[in-house]
Chains A and B, each alone.
Chain A
Amino acid sequence: MMATEKRYTRPRPCLRPALMTKRWEDNFEALLTWLDPDREQAGAKYEDIRHSLIHIFSWQGCVDAEELADETITRVTKKVPELVPGYTGDPALYFYGVAKKMRLEIMRRAPPDAPPSLENIKDPNRDPNEANDPNESENVYDCLDECLGKLATADHELVLLYHQQEQPKIESRKALARQIGINANNLRVKVHRIRAGLHKCIENCVRQKTANEMD
């Protein structure tokens, strides 16, 4: 069980502690088995679903995307005993169905405001002093430096070179791919995966710095 807790990002207990009973734990185990009989695969699928839900809620404009994703998972987990025996198809779609219903509930409770007019929106590119928190921007920059330093040298150089291509970047990057000896789309995917790792590193680093500053 401890290994499970370390590996998977459990929904945060927004529930009362009393509800985190053995039954919930059993349901969670059943949920993982439903995703895949192999534990490793089940864990990867679980994290993938959670990650997708967070992004979808965020792309829909939800402020608390992580909480909504966890609430979705909690609702599905509660239903697992009655759901799994008769269910056919990709479990991920069930999660999506529950997320859709949740979003409708939220919109019914608090209909979204009309989008603000452009004059009232700060453009982070054009109003750097007003739009950005300079401290946070500095932290992000420092963390980027730190995290780039943790990459393998080849990956570090590749990411920078990829960003340093002249406009139009599409053509320059095709040339870079030819230079390296790989297909342009493979280069795109390679850099994306390096950047995904960088993002995680930077988010953790910024969180740490912010926590240290508040102490």
Chain B
Amino acid sequence: MKELRQEQVVIRQYLLGELDEESRQQVEQRVMTERDYKEEVLMSEEELLEDFAAGALGEYERELFLKHYLSAPLQKRKLKIAQALNKYSEDHPPLPAAKQPESNWRRLINVLQSRKWFLRMAWAVVVLVVIGGTWVVFQTWRGRNQQTELQAELERLNGPGSKVLEGSGSVLHLSLVPLSLREATGAPPLTVTAQTQIVQLRLAGPPGHFQSYRATLKDSHSDVVLSYDNLMVRNPDNAALLVLQLPARILNNDDYVLTLSGLKPDGTFEETGDYSFRVIVK
């Protein structure tokens, strides 16, 4: 199941033009030779179209969708069909579900209408507990959902085949050195504006020469904002760097500490350094 999810992430990156040349060709060769894989790409494409038509794409993906995916007439036709299907399903709502047997409702209504105050009180307590419990469950579910989406986005930005984005209005770079090496001049600031979509943290000379690293970002309250395993050394501009790309929306006016840990052959992690920075949101 995890492999399918990883495959779907790569396919979405392909459709949005985020993959490097080699990864792009790998996807295309598989489309040519594996029927099941081609079907998976087409299904993922439909889901991308549905998400766009429903306004469910994040700003970054929406930009890529408009600039890259929608550049060809075939895709524009597919979008029209997706939008028509959206509208059609709104115009033709499903038939209402069959009503509950009257006797069950009747029993509940009888309780509410009961003159016995303690029955009505008990009912009110039950309702309050149910509402409270539902709210807690909803908050937990929402939090998990947001985490799942964040992990998927991090995988897309940093996983195998992803590009190291160039600096632009929407992509901010920040170079960091370990706390142990930095003079006591305070954490370097990063000014995030409404235009900023991606923040790219560049860590020079990755310590320990591990195969991969875990990056854990904490705020000033030591709450974990994100944790990403599988960060690998890149070579943009021919310099070995660890690059972590993250969506700007998760950052607030705060001080952050990024902790790097290297993956050892036995599967455990060894802390290799802390990097701090300050975010100013304008």
Contacts and interface: CB of A to CB of B under 8 A. Distances in A.
A54 interface: yes
A199 interface: yes
A92 B32 contact: yes
Contacts of B42: 55, 192, 196
A63 B67 contact: no
B15 A124 contact: no
Contacts of A161: 94
Contacts of B31: 52, 55-56
A62 B71 CA distance: 8
B81 A93 contact: no
Contacts of A136: 80
B88 A148 contact: yes
B72 A58 contact: yes
Interface string A146-162: 00100000000001110
A173 B52 CA distance: 18
Interface string A76-109: 0000000000000010110110001000000000
A58 B74 contact: yes
Contact of A96 (B32, B67, B72, B78): B32
Q: Chain B binding site: helix, strand, loop or mixed by DSSP?
A: helix
B28 A96 contact: yes
Given A48-B35, A49-B32, A160-B92, A59 B15 contact: yes
Q: Chain A binding site: helix, strand, loop or mixed by DSSP?
A: helix
B84 A141 contact: yes
B66 A121 contact: yes
Given A140-B84, A167-B56, A52 B32 contact: yes
B43 A189 contact: yes
Bin chain A's interface residue count.
35 or more
Given A161-B94, A164-B93, A65 B72 contact: yes
A123 interface: yes
Contact of B74 (A65, A118, A121): A65
A196 B29 CA distance: 22
A161 B46 CA distance: 16
B71 A61 contact: yes
B81 A202 contact: yes
Interface of A: 48-49, 52-56, 58-63, 65, 90, 92-93, 95-96, 100, 115-116, 118, 121, 123-125, 132, 136-137, 140-141, 144-145, 148, 159-161, 163-164, 167-169, 185, 188-189, 192, 195-196, 198-199, 202-203
